[in-house]
Amino acid sequence: MQHHDYQINLLLASPSTGDRHPLTPLQWDIRRPPRRAAHVSGGAISNSHLSQPAIFPAVTSLRIISDLLSENWVVAAYNPTGVTVEDILTVIHEQFHAPLTIPEWECMSQRERTRTEEVFYARCGASRNFERTRNGGVRRMDCLLNTTTFAGLSSLVFRNNRWEVVLTLSRDFSARHRDA
């Protein structure tokens, strides 16, 4: 059931342009901490951006769903005064930085495991401390392969007594999100 009186903040909303890889106002690679790496219109994200409600009018909880997420990964933001842009970015970052569990690993096909390991070792090699990163283990974000660019939230619905939105991620085909 859709509620047309409620809207996703334009910073978070997926563009409805029909482009295959549209740019959102908020540019962010979910592998990076949002306070340090997210940009809005080419500039660093500000406290005034982060403190804005994620949904208008404000809601106190919001579940984030996506075909890219395992059904066991619950991504939900809660804030008694209203879920903010920062709440959304933080919960996305935290959930994808969580270590992959043994049962999650065992549910993957051999092909998925191989591809995930390749991404994991590439991440280790790109880090400042290979051993520390390797010892930290495979993270959920490694399962996304290269599909780590925030492409917005869409399809706000109230279902089963909770608000839900769909998270879209895309591949980064340019250097626009890379940190120097």
**108 in a domain, yes or no?**
no
- Contacts with 154 (C-beta within 8 Å, 6 or more apart), sequence order: 8, 13, 14, 16, 165, 166, 168
Among all chains, which residue has been given the structure tokens 């399962």?
Answer: 143
Radius of gyration of the chain (CA): 17
Q: Give me the numbers of helices (H) and strands (E) for the chain, helices first please.
A: 7, 9
Q: What is the per-residue pLDDT across 53-85, written as a single tens digit (0 to 9) for each?
A: 999 999 999 999 988 887 778 899 999 999 999
Phi, psi of 106 (to 5 degrees): -70, -25
| pLDDT < 70 regions, the chain | 1-4, 16-22, 172-180
Summarised one tens digit per residue, pLDDT across range 135-148 is 999 999 999 998 99
Q: Is the pTM of this model over 0.85?
A: yes
* Residue 75, domain extent: 7-87+147-170
Q: Of 177, 180, 173, 143, which Cα lies nearest the Cα of 29? A: 177
Q: Establish if 74 belongs to a structural domain.
A: yes
Distance of alpha carbon 78 from alpha carbon 83, whole angstroms: 6
% of residues, the chain, pLDDT over 70: 88
**What CA–CA distance (Å, rounded) separates 96 from 37?**
15
Establish if 153 belongs to a structural domain: yes
Domain-embedded: residue 62: yes
Q: How many domains is the chain partitioned into structurally? A: 1
